[in-house]
């Protein structure tokens, strides 16, 4: 795997695709073990009425829009030293 400095930018599509492939290969070797308690928590959240197919999820879109508006309005200010 190629490790690039933070300032490096992939100048071509092929370079970008190669970097994605390398990241995918690396991720394929990562294994996570979830505890029984964590699995039960996931099942409980998935079983909630709002997470069922056909549930009204319009609120999530409103929240996403509000989130984007907040950060679109953010301005960089100089740090006081």
Given a cut of 70, whether residue 10 has pLDDT beyond it is no
Confidence of residue 81 (pLDDT cuts 50, 70, 90): confident
| Confidence (pLDDT) at 15 | 85
If phi > 0 it is left, if psi is from -120 to 50 it is alpha, else beta; for residue 8 that is beta
CB atoms within 10 A of CB 7: 5
pTM of this structure: 0.41
**How many domains does the chain divide into?**
1
Asked, for residue 3, whether it belongs to a domain, the answer is no
Asked, for residue 51, whether it belongs to a domain, the answer is yes
| Confidence (pLDDT) at 12 | 85
pLDDT tens-digit series, residues 13-67: 888 889 899 999 999 999 889 999 999 999 999 999 988 999 887 777 788 888 9
Asked, for residue 5, whether it belongs to a domain, the answer is no
| Confidence (pLDDT) at 55 | 87
Asked, for residue 46, whether it belongs to a domain, the answer is yes
Asked, for residue 78, whether it belongs to a domain, the answer is no
User: Mapped to the 3 state alphabet, what secondary structure does the chain carry?
Assistant: CCCCCCCCCCCCHHHHHHHHHHHHHHHHCCCCCCCHHHHHHHHHHHHCHHHCCCCCCHHHHHHHHHHHHHHHCCCCCCCCC
Residue 37 lies in domain: 32-73
Q: Which of 31, 8, 29 is nearest to 19 (CA)?
A: 8
Asked whether the beta carbons of 16 and 10 are under 8 A apart, the reply is: yes
């Amino acid at each position: 795997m190629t490790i690039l400095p933070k300032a490096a930018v992939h100048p071509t599509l092929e370079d970008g695709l190669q970097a994605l492939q390398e990241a995918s290969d690396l991720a394929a070797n990562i294994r996570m073990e979830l505890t029984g308690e964590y699995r039960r928590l996931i099942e409980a959240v998935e079983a909630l009425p709002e997470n069922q197919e056909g549930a009204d999820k319009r609120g999530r879109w409103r929240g996403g829009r509000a989130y984007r508006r907040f950060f679109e309005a953010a301005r960089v200010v100089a740090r006081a030293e």
